[in-house]
Amino acid sequence: MATRLPSAPPILPGLAYIRPLGSGGFADVFLYEQDMPRRNVAVKVMPSDVRDPELRRMFNAEADVLAHLSAHPSIVTVYQASISADGRPYIVMEYCPGSLAQRYRVERIPVEEVLAIGVRMASALESAHRAGLIHRDVKPSNILITTFGTPVLADFGISASLQRKSGGEVLAMSIPWSAPEVVAEQTSGTVASEVWSLGATVYSLLAGHSPFERRERGQNTKDLLRRRIARATYVEIPRTDVPASLQVVLSTAMSRDPARRYDSARALGEALRAVQSELGLSPTPLEIPDDEWSPASAPVDFSDSALRGPARSHIERDLTRRKSRAGTGVAALARDEDTEISAPSRRRHGSALPWVIGIAAGLVAGAAAVVVTLFAAGVL
């Protein structure tokens, strides 16, 4: 999809718009402040002019995949997903102020840090694979940095979601980090191709560029990159602080033959941990679920392109009906998200009147009681 300007941020209940964060092929991301609990959140929204069922399917799939996996410490957390008043699907996620999108190109990232990132991403991918899900777009820009400095995997927008055209399935791919068999469209993505992509991502963070990128101008077109990836000849990273053992790990992960790669993301993570031990570093924990683990919710339906959630054409303002509604217990304390959070100014002014009336009534009743007491005592 061609580069475009971000769409207008939607009005969302309980969220106050701050500024845009970015714009992608089929979604915009905005920074909002959540009213309760008070925190900044990232909101991913489909543009208002997108009505393609395929893109809605991808958007729904991302929300569901994150709902399955976001409890993982190395996967971005999703808080909620719904439909805005103007009919646009949105996902409210953890706000991560940084990413690795450009850092590796302008900074020499320490080997120690890159190894830790690699192990964490291997943990995230292994967990996704055990849930029966493939990310399909592992690359530096999809590794975000939380406010605590922790790397997390994000953007599951094309996870197990393929854009179809006549003649078969075509994967929406990021060519510099895609495996040869994916670039050749022989597969839409497998565990083996994910191992390749993670190896290529670790390579990029160390080398300062993607594995088959050239410094010369005009040498990095899609066609040229495809040809180099198809040949898949590993070129060692020209850094003296990158040990030979790490070069071997990366060359294995990026083998042209999928059968010669590590057979799982976990195996690649263990290989990176072995390099950490060799360098005298404390191995990063490989956080993966137990063998008997399975997603708690229903499997992701990758064919679902429906608009889901409480879509509204307007913000409800029927205060009379809300005031007359009876209720007890927790239900009586529930807030109307539209009227109370979206319109805080009216809430402040309007809610003061009952307090004023109550105080006045109390003063009158107290004065009457004093008069009755004095009269009974014979004072009056």
d(CA 56, CA 83): 12
> Quick one: pLDDT at residue 58?
72
* Alpha-carbon distances, residue 317 vs 15, 323, 349 (angstroms): 18, 11, 16
Q: Please list the active-site residues.
A: 136
pLDDT: which is higher, 107 or 164 = 107
Mean pLDDT of 279-288: 96
pLDDT: which is higher, 169 or 60 = 60
Q: In sequence order, what are the beta bridge partners of 98?
A: 145
**Three-state SS at 355:** helix
- Tens of pLDDT, residue by residue over 250-259, are 999 999 999 9
Environment class of residue 257 by beta-carbon count within 10 Å: exposed (0-12), middle (13-18) or buried (19+)? exposed
**Three-state SS at 44:** strand
* Alpha-carbon distances, residue 103 vs 21, 110, 115, 152, 256 (angstroms): 17, 12, 16, 15, 28
d(CA 93, CA 244): 39
**Where are the domains positioned within the chain?**
96-278
d(CA 14, CA 28): 19
Closest CA to 64 of 152, 160, 144: 160
- Tens of pLDDT, residue by residue over 96-135, are 999 999 999 999 999 999 999 999 999 999 998 888 888 8
> Quick one: pLDDT at residue 337?
26
d(CA 158, CA 171): 8
Q: In sequence order, what are the beta bridge partners of 164?
A: 169
> Quick one: pLDDT at residue 343?
30
pLDDT: which is higher, 312 or 96 = 96
Least confident segment among 23-32, 265-274, 325-334: 325-334
Residue 235 pLDDT more than 70?
Answer: yes
Mean pLDDT of 11-21: 95
d(CA 162, CA 65): 15
Highest mean pLDDT among 24-38, 223-237, 302-316: 223-237
> Quick one: pLDDT at residue 298?
55
Query: In CATH, what is the architecture of 96-278?
Result: Orthogonal Bundle (1.10)
**CA atoms in the 13 A half-sphere facing the CB of 24:** 19
The percentage of the chain sitting over the pLDDT mark of 70, rounded to a whole number, equals 69
Name the amino acid, one letter, at 146.
T
Query: What does R_g of the chain's alpha carbons equal in angstroms?
Result: 28
Mean pLDDT of 230-240: 93
**312, 82 in Cβ contact below 8 A?**
no
- Tens of pLDDT, residue by residue over 25-73, are 678 899 999 999 999 999 999 876 666 677 777 777 777 777 778 789 9
In degrees, rounded to 5, the angle at the alpha carbon of residue 152 between the alpha carbons of residues 39 and 195 is: 160
pLDDT: which is higher, 380 or 218 = 218
Least confident segment among 63-77, 330-344, 348-362: 330-344
**Three-state SS at 41:** strand
- Prior bond to 243 cis, omega within 30? no
